[in-house]
Structure 1
Amino acid sequence: MSITIPQLSTISLPPLLGASLEELKAWVQEQGQPAYRGKQLHDWIYNQGVRSLADISVFPKKWRSQLAEIPIGRSTIDHRSVAPDGTVKYLLRLTDGQVIETVGIPTYKWKQRRENPNSLDRLTVCVSTQVGCPMACDFCATGKGGYQRNLQRHEIVDQVLTVQEDFQQRVSNIVFMGLGEPLLNTDNVLGAIRCLNQDVGIGQRNITVSTVGIPGRIRQLAQHHLQITLAVSLHAPNQALREKLIPSAHHYQIDDLLAECREYVEITGRRVSFEYILLAGFNDLPEHAEELAKCLRGFQSHVNLIPYNPISEVDYQRPSSDRIQAFEQVLKQHNTAVSIRYSRGLEADAACGQLRASK
């Protein structure tokens, strides 16, 4: 089935990052160059990581000088910090001076690491979709800093290329779980997914889009029939608890959210992942697990339990290991697919819920 994703207009193409091969061919022809220059441009942007058109040595020297001021759309690394587990947090400065955060998460081939410390099994990038976040979830550092603007598609794609270049390793997986709510920036997120899939070469099944849930947007996403993974930040088994954690939940009843998720499964044939941050004494009791299992009964889903990662603004606590495992066991007893996900990059404030675009 065909996938409809917004395309760039060649009239307003620059920054060039995020454009498809056909769009770049059309653009170079508008500049009076043969179409094959578009293929060269595509290779230099996506495979060689060029940051200035003046550096593309296969282009005629005269034309290169004319292109020197046309932006490709790359950011600069403002700060880089490494956690003991190898996770790298980047603060990236955009062309308008705004700063966003992205995270590179390496998974090593442990058997080979003694001989080759850089032997990676996979490299995941956690990308941001907005400068800040308007959702203001109570347990999350990102929402504490407010919201500035949506990221453009080239600013999303740039994050992946930056991590790829820094690690000198091809990125294998992408999670849209950084700053911002992806489904409040749907067009740019869809455009970035197209680019990352078709131009950078990352399979759709290796891409996860996370959302708190925006009325109608999950249904809208389903209409594109993508093979991505949808991850819904649920974090509570009922409306009252959810509203305490997620202010926007006041406008979106949990029953309506779950109904839309069921539609997503029916339309796409893809299961939905539910993210559930465990907060000690708040949403981690056995009765909460019972209620959650009842909510998810009868449709294709999976629960990721995420022990809370602390931030300074609130005094939530991470549950004990026994409490976490007990919650998991209740879900398993009700035949709910579940796993525990311990976040990477905790020591560098790069873990789930800790991102805030600051050192």
Structure 2
Amino acid sequence: MSTPSMHPAAHAHSAAAAHGPLNGILFVALFAAAVTRLAAMPVIAGLGVSPLIVGIVAGAVYGNTLRAGMPAHWAAGVNFSARRLLRIAVAFFGLRVSLQEIAQVGLPGLTVSLLVVVSTLAIGIWVGTKLLKLDRDTAILTAAGSAICGAAAVLAFESTLNSKPEKSAVAVGSVVLFGTLSMFVYPLAYRAGWLHLDTAGIGLFFGGTIHEVAQVVGAASNVSSEATHVATIVKMTRVMLLVPVLLVLGVWLARTAARGTGNARAPRKVTVPWFALGFLACVIANSLHVLPSAATQAVNALDTFALTMAMTALGIETQLSQVRKAGPRALATGFILYVWLAVGGLAITWGVERVLG
């Protein structure tokens, strides 16, 4: 027979477990708020490092040192932030792009973006899986981050692949390293007279080949305001390609799964990522000016915070022992893609300018 004194403790424990997910989400939100303040410091902001990057690093440091001190029932909230919240935030990322802006850079901008994205994905997946024997998910994530839009693309692909957090961390690390390098090397190459491109060409090249949006702006602002304008729009054209690439990935994964079961005639269930459709809906809403600009800016600020929360949560779930396994090969894949983006991207830009410019 149980004593009455047991009941309050049991009740408190069950109440804590019930509030666990919410407490976990609040913990991640407070962590992300601190990360946002840290990323706003001039020394970090000056490097073009976004709060997303600071979030995954700070989260990984916490996850591998102090994680044991976090109540176990908070883990569900951390997982919610790294998965569900992440998908919602990626969908709202579409409010940063408008079809009118993409029309401004016209066919040259679209052609450079398309050629760079397709070639970088193909080379990255081939080099990663065949040459360097990386696992499929890490190779795809590293290629996607380099080809499309850095950390945000890694997050979008991570949601479609349902891969482990450490694979995203490895891919993000590669993107940060080589994207930051581009931000410093590209303006130096321009000043040294090595690029042989006019202002529009510089915009096409920088926007078409540098990893993160912040890095594109940082590099192009060292050239001119016109180059920055063109580079930013071309970069956003690459961001737009996230949707068709995710849809193609969904079809490919369904086919691979069907082949894996040994039944080629089995109905192939294609999972269309709902957040990709949400992203597209947000692009259309932004293009039609459904929201006033002040509201769009507020939603974008909230969305950046949600993405920072997702990245921080991914960091907390990342095990550095797993990162070390794939780290060197993922970095080698990132380096090969970096060389391709610089050399191949310059050749693509030069060719497109000659034919369509």
Higher relative contact order (CA 8 A, sep 6+): 2
- TM-score, normalised to structure 2, is 0.26
- TM-score, normalised to structure 1, is 0.26
